[in-house]
Amino acid sequence: MRHGSKISFIAGATAVAVVLVALYVADFLASTPPTSAAASAPGGARLTLQTVAAYGHAPDPDWVSYLVRDAGGRWRHTTIFTVPAHSLVQVTIYQYDTATGLRNPFLSQVRGTTGGVMAVNGTTLRALPPDDASHTFTIPDLGVSVPLKGVADDAKNQCGVAPCTLAEAHTTITFTFRTGRRGTFRWQCFVPCAAAFVFGNGGPMQTMGWMDGQLKVV
């Protein structure tokens, strides 16, 4: 290949690479889910979530997912939340999925919450048997991690399409944690619960809006 041809080839390949990167970035920005503000509560905010075994809608109806209830009481399919800085955040999670189990028992401990506890269906706990967990709600940079108890495999009236209702089989988990400085903190589920993906990872486990998101402290 002549020198001029090599230069043309390299220039062309570089141009293609730049276009592909630009398209990837544009797709990422376009697919970022909306932000939902937590409802106001005395001393801070109230964040209400649900986890479902299958979203039940396009584009990925079989994917496991989180949803959030906005300040108007509507369930929204997003995992980007805003909460106030230096405040208490009261969290309620309605957990509709069955247990998957934890690969790391460390995650069975409740960490970073007020008093180091959570309430599961009204019972105060500091930890959960690893095999009972379905998901976790974990904010590594804030030191917050809460295991979510799964519903029984044979529970009646299990939810199949989001959003789920309180009439369907679920576990209710409540806890509080205190925010500090302003910033954006990534949160995610640390249970590899993505069925049909290698080792349960991939798909919803690595896609914003499903099993991971951002907590924006403002």
Q: Are 59 and 82 within one domain?
A: yes
pLDDT on residue 3: 60
Best CA proximity match to 189, nearest among 150, 146, 159: 146
Nearest to 33 by CA among 81, 89, 104: 81
User: What's the pLDDT score for residue 6?
Assistant: 61
Q: Are 104 and 183 in a shared domain?
A: yes
Asked whether residue 25 falls in the same domain as residue 90, the answer is no
Q: Say if residue 76's pLDDT is above 90.
A: yes
Residue 71 sits in the same domain as residue 143: yes
Asked if 88 and 17 sit in the same domain, the reply is no
Whether residues 78 and 185 share a domain: the answer is: yes
**What pLDDT shows up at residue 201?**
84
pLDDT at 199: 78
> Are 26 and 103 within one domain?
no
- The mean-pLDDT minimum among 98-112, 125-139, 193-207 falls in 193-207
172 & 98 share domain: yes
Residues 22 and 45 grouped into a single domain: no
Please count the residues of the chain: 218
Higher pLDDT, 29 or 88: 88
- Domain residue limits at 20: 1-31
Confidence (pTM): 0.86
Instruction: State whether 60 and 24 are in the same domain.
Output: no
| β-strands 123-125, 39-41 pairing | unpaired
| pLDDT tens-digit series, residues 7-65 | 665 655 565 554 444 333 334 444 689 999 999 999 999 999 999 999 999 999 999 99
User: Do 19 and 100 fall within a single domain?
Assistant: no
27 and 51 share one domain: no
Number of folded domains that form the chain:
2
Q: What is the CATH number of the domain that holds 47?
A: 2.60.40.420
DSSP annotation string for 86-143: TSEEEEEEEE-SBP---SSGGGGB-BSSGGG-EEETTEEESB--GGGEEEEEEEGGGT
pLDDT digits (tens, 9 = 90+) for 159-171: 989 999 999 999 9
pLDDT at 200 (0 to 100) = 76
